[in-house]
């Protein structure tokens, strides 16, 4: 057996440089840390503060935590377009108050703060029509931000990419538009043999701290299809989590960047820090956030 090993080493030395041989023989996969956060909205009063103090101010309190991870995933709660904001200066519940667009500079802001993957599969993605979605795609592509959930391109609505030593597939589900449950199941099955599959779901009832039966049914079907992790958004409050067939399911992470302050539940957000090694979850840690009235989000633990 010893001679077989020596022969392999000799062959490698002949074929590769010494440094490469050492890497092949003794390489040990590193841990990969990913952070998942909830709803990210930079219009309305958040946009006003960003324009006054700079967009980096909004992330200044939470930035150290973001940079401790290999990448951060979020729900991007609206399109990135060149359109003028309709929500800035609007009254709560009034015309334009729930119509969002984020400036074309936002993807580079996200990149500076390590938010390198987002879901755009949500109820606001059509706020500026199909043109807004196409502009969003171009802006995110230009900054190198990975995204899933494009309702205009269901064949390519999910994506897979490298994070550290891991290959991650980001698959979106959108209760309100496409991708549908069926689309989501197809993409989970497409990637499950080659990637760690994360489903980012936009679902549920707003401001309800308990998940609905339909959320639980969908989440479990995703786990049965081969998802490794299910992350939820949309209710704007934190909902419960569970483990089903060994798959962690977080029904709602609540708000991450938002200008909602009217009850304490909407001012609290949850981050899920996942450590991977060789495609397996080694550790999950929960990080909590609080939405300050100056429009910054700050860790509370």
Q: What is the CATH number of the domain that holds 268?
A: 3.60.21.10
Q: What is the pTM of this model?
A: 0.91
Q: Within this chain, do residues 50 and 136 fall inside the same structural domain, yes or no?
A: yes
Q: Within this chain, do residues 167 and 223 fall inside the same structural domain, yes or no?
A: yes
- 172-190 residue pLDDT tens: 999 999 999 999 999 999 9
- 23-57 residue pLDDT tens: 444 445 699 999 999 999 999 999 999 999 999 99
Q: Within this chain, do residues 41 and 21 fall inside the same structural domain, yes or no?
A: no
**DSSP code for 149:** -
Show the domain range for 89: 33-299
Does the structure show a pLDDT above 50 at 108? yes
Measured between alpha carbons, how far is 256 from 289 in angstroms, rounded to an integer? 7
Confidence (pLDDT) at 24: 44
Q: Within this chain, do residues 61 and 25 fall inside the same structural domain, yes or no?
A: no
Span 191-220, mean pLDDT? 98
Please give the tally of structural domains in the chain: 2
Confidence (pLDDT) at 20: 47
Confidence (pLDDT) at 25: 45
Helix, strand, or coil (residue 95): coil
Apex 147 CA angle, 133 and 95, nearest 5: 40
Measured between alpha carbons, how far is 274 from 36 in angstroms, rounded to an integer? 8
Q: Within this chain, do residues 84 and 195 fall inside the same structural domain, yes or no?
A: yes
**DSSP code for 47:** H
- 249-269 residue pLDDT tens: 999 999 999 999 999 999 999
């Amino acid at each position: 057996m010893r001679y077989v090993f020596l022969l392999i080493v000799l062959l490698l030395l002949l074929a590769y440089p010494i440094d490469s041989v050492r890497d092949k023989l003794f390489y040990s996969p590193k841990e990969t840390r990913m952070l998942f956060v909830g709803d990210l909205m930079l219009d309305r009063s958040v946009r006003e503060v960003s324009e006054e103090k700079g967009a980096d101010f909004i992330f200044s309190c939470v930035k150290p935590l973001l940079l401790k991870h290999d990448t951060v995933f979020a729900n991007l709660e609206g399109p990135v377009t060149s359109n003028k904001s309709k929500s800035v200066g609007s009254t709560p519940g009034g015309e334009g108050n729930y119509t969002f667009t984020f400036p074309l500079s936002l993807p580079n802001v996200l990149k500076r703060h390590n938010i390198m993957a987002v879901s755009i599969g949500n109820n606001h993605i059509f706020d500026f029509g199909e043109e807004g979605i196409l502009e969003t795609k171009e802006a995110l592509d230009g900054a190198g931000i990975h995204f899933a959930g494009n309702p205009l391109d269901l064949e390519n609505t999910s994506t897979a990419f490298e994070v550290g030593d891991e290959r991650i597939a980001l698959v979106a589900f959108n209760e309100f538009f496409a991708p549908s449950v069926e689309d989501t199941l197809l993409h989970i099955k497409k990637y499950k043999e080659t990637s760690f599959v994360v489903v980012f779901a936009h679902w549920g009832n707003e401001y309800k701290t308990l998940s609905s039966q339909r959320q639980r049914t969908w989440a479990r079907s995703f786990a049965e299809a081969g998802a490794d992790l299910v992350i939820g958004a949309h209710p704007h409050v934190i909902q419960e989590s569970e483990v089903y067939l060994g798959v962690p399911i977080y029904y709602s992470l609540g708000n991450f960047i938002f200008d909602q302050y009217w009850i304490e539940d909407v001012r609290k957000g949850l981050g899920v820090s996942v450590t991977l090694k060789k495609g397996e979850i080694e550790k999950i840690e929960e990080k909590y956030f609080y939405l300050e009235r100056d429009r910054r989000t700050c860790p509370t633990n």
